Structure 1
Amino acid sequence: MKEQLVAESVRLFEQRGFTNTSLQDIVEALGVTKGTFYYYFPTKEALLMTIHESYIDSLLDRQQRVLAQTKDVRTQLRHIVQLLIEDIQTHGQQGRVFFREIRHLDETNGARIRDKRRQFRIVLEQVIANGVENHTFRYTLRPDMTAFAILGMTNYSYQWYQPDGEMAPQDLADYYVTLLLDGMEERP
């Protein structure tokens, strides 16, 4: 039942927003009582925190698996971008709730999620720094600004990208990585 409450809440929060979805909306959608909800979550905000933690913990875990699979920084970068874009297809609703509804977490919970997001970014920065250090990437790259650019590009894709549209998730991830690694400049 806990998983059903989370899944239905993700669907409703993504459609209506956190503040426009009442506890009553959630329990009615599942045909359960408020007592059932309170058995699993003390508050609606605690449910939102569960959604956020589940999402970011999964990303952090998969990012670590990428790093463990290979030491090649180009491959690491490619796979990190792929996991972010492919997540739109596999976890799109949860991702949109994650990016849009963090503002409704209390100060302590919001700080915990922001710390975990920072961890993800710092690992990405380190991949880029390693690439600069071993001369795979340009020596002029700033790992911090480059990581922010990559995350901005991939995370904003949640707003417009349709995985069942013209371009498959793998193709968009490949396009982004090619753009990042090869740039936009015409070469002879």
Structure 2
Amino acid sequence: MPTKDSARRRRTLSERRQEIVTTAAELFDRHGYNNATMDDLAHAVGIAKPTLYHYFGSKEEILASIHEEFIDLLLGKHQRRRQAGLPPAQQLLEVMTDVLELMESHRGHVRVFFEHHRELPAAERDSIRDKRDAYEAQVAALIEQGTSAGTFRAVDPRIGALAVFGMCNWAYQWYRIGGSLEPRQIAYQFWDMFLRGIST
């Protein structure tokens, strides 16, 4: 009968790297990026520290992989919606839902992405910034599209996009899994307030 260790050895390089990235995101969420060591991560994954360096050359490289994975998830989700031709208001709701749902499925990624971009090596920081900027521009373009369609009133599209991010991105500080509201329910309330305000 195969043992846990033999199954672990059969994992492919990409599977092992994914396991390390996922575990690192959870570890950084619990203990903080600066407090967690490569020794801690090797122990959490269940491999020797020299083996860990076979997959990643440094903690900073792992940090970059977490950032890359998170922003690529957001970009991929939004790209599929654009291709599906959803109306601007619905796309905006889904944009807001994305981040809030990732607080459940990728909680560690969310914290790392928003709190530890300054620790990225210069080259990776520039690459991730380019993707962040591209995502921001896509959401701004969505708001502009809604304005052109007569769904939204005329506002500065970039300020509108930043307002959306400001509502959603900080929610990881207070959101708790298993609370009274599901991520989509929170997203709907944010979306409704954003579109209609809170005045009577």
* TM-score calculated relative to the size of structure 1: 0.93
| Structure 2 equivalent of residue 40 of structure 1 | 55
In 2 relative to 1, CA 76–30 (structure 1 residues): closer, same or farther, beyond 3 Å?
closer
Q: Hey, what's the Cα distance between the residues in 2 that align with 1:90 and 1:12?
A: 15
Gaps of 5+ in 1: none
Q: 1:89 aligns with which of 99, 104, 114?
A: 104
1:134-183 CA distances to partner (integer Å, 9 max, x unpaired)? 221112x1111110010011001111112311111111011011111111
The 4+ residue runs of structure 1 with deviation greater than 3 A are: none
Shift of 1:20: 0.8
TM-score by length of 2: 0.88
Structure 2 residue aligned with 1:60: 75
Q: Is the 8 A contact 1:17 1:101 kept in 2?
A: no
2:147 to 129, 132, 136: 132
Q: How many residues align?
A: 185
Matches within 5 A, 1:125-164: 125-139=140-154, 141-164=155-178
Structure 1 counterpart of 2:85, one-letter code:
T
- Provide the rounded CA distance (Å) in 2 between the counterparts of 1:86 and 1:147: 19
CA–CA separation in structure 1 for the residues paired with 2:128 and 2:193: 29
Alignment-mate amino acid for residue 25 of structure 1: D
* Cα pair 1:63 1:80 within 8 Å, conserved: yes
What does 1:1-188 correspond to in 2, within 5 Å?
1-139=16-154, 141-186=155-200
Instruction: Quote how far apart the aligned CAs of 1:71 are.
Output: 4.1
1:79-125 Cα distance to aligned partner (Å, 9 max, x none): 11111211111111211111111111012111111111111110000
Percent sequence identity over aligned pairs: 32
Q: Which amino acid aligns with 1:15?
A: R
Q: How large is the Cα RMSD of the aligned pairs?
A: 1.2
Q: Is the 8 A contact 2:88 2:143 kept in 1?
A: yes
Bigger mean CA offset, 55-64 vs 84-93: 84-93
Note the residue ranges of structure 2 that are not aligned, 5 or more in a row. Answer: 1-15
